[in-house]
A and B are shown apart, each in its own frame.
Chain A
Amino acid sequence: MESFGVLVERHQPRLWRLCERMLGSSEDAGEATQEVFLKAYRGCSAFRPNAKVSTWLYRIAVNHCLNRLRRRKLATFLSLAELAPKAQGEAPAAEWDPADSGPDAEQRLADRRRWAQVKAAIDRLPLNQRSVLVLAKLEGLSYREISQTLGITESAVESRLVRAMRRLQALGIQQGVGHGG
């Protein structure tokens, strides 16, 4: 249990960040991270010593987030009440922190708005493209590491990443240019 505690301490920040980027919510990320480590604890016998621990944990986390996103999509589809605020363009409460005061306040607010738009665009990607994009860009994993994490070929990683980028371009996500939603 102590050694598992060390594992949690070491990998928890990165896994939390990954879950937050995959799920788009800090609250969901906290719960998801906990579930990921529970799954890792239960499945530690399935871990192969020749694999990297981080890759193994990433794989569990990505699969967990994808399952969660699929369930969320289904729940959204089934619940008309949930659709209403999104249709009006309301952002989740966690996305909007109170504005800071100070000389950089405007810039920070603009950054947050831009980031909210980027996250909204990422949310619109198909799940298989989203996971590749998050791992490549936001987690800084190489094609090889992504292919090991997701259990797909490097060629599939490449195709999904290019498709994701094309879709984001179509949604108007560009540096220094007005972002579309």
Chain B
Amino acid sequence: MAVRDRDIKLLMRYVAGELDEAARRRLKERLDEDEQLRAALRQLRSTWSALSPPIGEPKVPDQTSRILSEIRRRRERDPGVAGWFAAPVWIKAGSLASLAVGLVMGLLVSTSGFGPPPEVSEPSADGDLFLAAEPTSADLYWRALEASSGGLGDEQENGT
């Protein structure tokens, strides 16, 4: 019978040094009785050991000064970008929130305009047109035009 996945994981934890003392003892007891488990452990250990690097590995070069001078160089070249990345989270969050609010407001204004149009009251009995709101310069212009031409018909006024 092949070794179960669960047992392979347990053996792997054992090889990697992840088991506590009690778990190690329990596993050793099982290993004493189970030849297949022992064979699986031997294989795992063999592969694990083969992954150890040779003693004479290349020496790690000291790059500290090179790294720091590169950081300085990039910071001088592009301070804005470095500043943004280095900014605290609350500044970034605040900036993004302001941007979002601005976008939403822009969207609302563009879809609904700058406000409702001025309400036009019903023409009075003598045919004069009164605006409920403060007359604009365009209204004043049209009124002056009407006065000079002797007044327009009701139909035309309602159409404007």
Contact = CB atoms under 8 A, between A and B. Distances in A.
Contacts of B87: 45
B70 A173 contact: no
B63 A16 contact: yes
Given A13-B60, A33-B63, A42-B86, A165 B71 contact: no
Contacts of B99: none
Contact of A34 (B46, B49, B67): B67
B58 interface: yes
Nearest to B8: A162
B2 interface: no
Given A5-B68, A173-B51, A143 B63 contact: no
Contacts of A176: 46
B54 interface: yes
A137 B64 contact: no
B50 A173 contact: yes
Interface in A131-181: 133, 136-138, 142-143, 158-159, 161-162, 165, 168-169, 173-177, 179
Contact of B18 (A42, A111, A114, A143): A143
Interface residues of A, number: 47
A164 to B, nearest CB: 10
A68 interface: no
Contacts of A8: 64, 67-68
A132 to B, nearest CB: 11
Contact of B63 (A12, A138, A177): A12
Contacts of B61: 16, 30
B8 to A, nearest CB: 6
B102 to A, nearest CB: 23
B136 interface: no
Interface string A13-39: 100110000000010001001100110
Given A137-B51, A138-B53, A12 B86 contact: no
A122 B13 CA distance: 20
Contacts of B8: 162
Interface in A41-55: 41-46
B16 A136 contact: yes
B50 A16 contact: no
A43 B63 contact: no
Which one of A111, A138, A165, A169 has the greatest number of beta carbons of chain B within 10 Å? Answer: A165
B72 to A, nearest CB: 8
Given A136-B16, A169-B47, A174-B43, A112 B58 contact: no
A165 B44 contact: yes
A112 B54 CA distance: 7
7 contacts: A26-B58, A41-B86, A45-B87, A112-B54, A118-B51, A143-B16, A168-B50
Q: Ordered nearest first, which 4 A-B pairs have the shortest CB separation?
A: A42-B85, A175-B49, A111-B54, A174-B46
Given A143-B16, A165-B47, 13 more contacts: A9-B64, A12-B62, A16-B60, A17-B60, A34-B63, A38-B67, A42-B81, A42-B85, A115-B54, A122-B51, A159-B9, A176-B46, A179-B50
